[in-house]
Amino acid sequence: MSTEVRVPTLGESVTEATVATWFKKPGDSVAVDEMLCELETDKVTVEVPSPIAGTLSEIVAAEGETVGVDALLAQISEGGADSAAASAPKANSDAAPAEKPADTPATGGTGTVNAGPEDTKPRDPEDAPSAQKLMAEKGIDRDAVTATGKDGRVMKEDVLKALAQPKAAAPVAAPRAASSADQADREERVKMTRLRQTIAKRLKDSQNTAAMLTTYNEVDMTAVMDLRNEYKDLFLKKHGVKLGFMSFFTKACIHALHEVPEVNAEIDGTDVVYKNYVNMGIAAGTPTGLVVPVLKDADQMSFAGIEKAIAEMGGKARDGKLSMADMQGGTFTISNGGVYGSLMSSPILNPPQSGILGMHKIQDRPMAINGQVVIRPMMYLALSYDHRIVDGKGAVTFLVRVKEALEDPRRLLMDL
């Protein structure tokens, strides 16, 4: 008896994934819940476990193929290695046509690759007829439309969104200069992962869509550092987690968002959607790229709750265990480039959010305090915001409130 292994549900709005790695090959014995393969989506890596104990008799979707939700990945035969030995040669021969050279792109969401000579290049997806008609009527080039349909199909709503966007001069990509023979031998070409492709697309879309502007300030970290040093041991003993700087910044941002709610809002067509809650995104770097896990209802959390949630999300991010649900629904984001030594930067918005705070390196600098030059631990802060919804006054007020709360944390207790 054979059991099918299919692509699991990948998360809200995610319809396809790429088969990244097979941990087993046809003929291998597998145990219940043993990992068979990894699927790479736009945001996370999904592990596919074995539903039964038996033998992997056939791999249907090879590494590098794009597969849709519920697509067939493999077949598992119940029984031991003896029954697998007979089926292994057939499985290998069946799976062979699915294999393709590393530089041949997958055809799309069907999870299959045709090996005919005419299919050495991927076929262009057929756009929705209504989209084709609208593009023809409006004279819109297909390359100017961001496709959201299955397999890269352009849908009518994609064309409408393109029409609603302000016209901009199309950037001209400079052609890559040919490498000399000796240089080509020292180059390595690696296909971008789906995560890196998505990061690149979302960041560029954010620049193209939002009227992004950044305002800066600096904060004296003396009060926060003194408070942290005074209570860190007691905090760790009582709550079982270290007291870091992120909980102070999260609380300060929540405090400022309550006063300047447009920074916690988003644009939906011609509407502004104000959020009466704070889902705080905390940007985290991982070996595979930048991810932004979200602390849901962070405005209802204590310092200890925030630190525990950040520690848990950070661990999941490092281990590649974040789910789609962990990274959805954010209303505001904090990015800490200071951990890498950044002294100043302009963070890019995480759409559809309207604000992101950039933290930076704490550095001792001479400051004029009450007519005296003293050395203080200073940090530059940067708030990037969508000027379509947030005015300069609101952005500056937000950053000043964050600065005030950090320089005098007692203000957070009294909501000042």
- The three-state secondary structure class of 53 is coil
319: its two tokens: 């281990």
317: its two tokens: 């991010």
Q: Which residue has the tokens 């959010």?
A: 353
User: 66-68 and 284-286: which strand pairing?
Assistant: unpaired
* DSSP characters over 219-270: EE-HHHHHHHHHHHHHHHHHHSS---SHHHHHHHHHHHHHHSGGGGEEEETT
147: its two tokens: 């496709």
CB crowding 221-244: b at 16 or more within 10 Å, else e = bbbbeeebeeeeeebeeeeebebb
- The three-state secondary structure class of 195 is helix
Q: Which amino acid is at 329?
A: G
End-to-end CA distance of the chain: 68
Of 386, 391, 408, 415, the catalytic one is 391
Of 271, 387, 408, 415, the catalytic one is 387
* DSSP characters over 59-124: E-S-TT-EEETT-EEEEEESS-HHHHHHHHHHHHHHHGGG---TTSPP--TB-----SGGGSSPPP
- Known active-site residue 387: yes
Least Cα distance to 301 among 356, 250, 243, 236 occurs for 250
- Known active-site residue 28: no
* 128, HSE (Cβ side, Cα atoms, 13 Å): 17
Q: Give me the torsion for CA of 193, 198, 201, 205, rounded to 10°.
A: -170
* Helix pair 222-239, 303-318: axis angle to 10 deg: 80
Least Cα distance to 351 among 214, 161, 195, 209 occurs for 209
Q: Cα–chain-centroid distance for residue 296?
A: 16
Name the residues annotated as catalytic: 387, 391
